[in-house]
């Protein structure tokens, strides 16, 4: 069974949540972190793409005695960076943001 759609205009709980002083703090913190991580991801990803586009010789340098080039570990680092920032966001959301959300919901329900 589908839940009925909640309309912000008619639900008094929504307005109590929005007017809670901690709600604006939660939104500001979450949005700030989201933008910081987004910008960091763009820099890393597009930096790698820019290296591919503008300095292929740098990425084509062989490392070690094998056939592996410098581009491979840098590409892996981009993937590891992505996983790391997602893990960081999830850890922060599960600890700090969820606690703030629970407090806001508890106080708004009174």
* pTM, 2 dp: 0.77
- Residue pLDDT, tens place only, 5-33: 655 566 677 888 888 889 999 999 999 99
* Domain with 33 in it: 14-108
- Residue pLDDT, tens place only, 33-43: 999 999 999 99
Q: Note whether residue 6 is domain-resident.
A: no
**Residue 54: helix, strand or coil by DSSP?**
helix
Q: Note whether residue 70 is domain-resident.
A: yes
Count of domains forming the chain: 1
Q: Note whether residue 28 is domain-resident.
A: yes
Q: Note whether residue 24 is domain-resident.
A: yes
Q: Note whether residue 1 is domain-resident.
A: no
Taking the CA of residue 45 as centre, how many other CA atoms within 13 Å lie in the half-sphere pointing to its CB? 10
């Amino acid at each position: 069974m589908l839940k009925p759609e909640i309309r912000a205009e008619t639900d008094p709980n929504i307005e109590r949540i929005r007017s809670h002083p901690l709600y604006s703090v939660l939104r500001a913190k979450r949005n700030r972190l989201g933008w910081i991580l987004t910008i960091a991801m763009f820099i890393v990803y597009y930096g790698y793409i820019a290296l591919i586009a503008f300095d292929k010789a740098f990425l084509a340098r062989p490392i070690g005695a094998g056939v592996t080039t410098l581009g491979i570990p840098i590409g892996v680092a981009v993937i590891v960076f992505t996983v790391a920032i997602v893990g960081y966001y999830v850890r922060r959301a599960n600890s700090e943001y969820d606690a703030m959300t629970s407090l806001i919901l508890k106080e708004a329900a009174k």
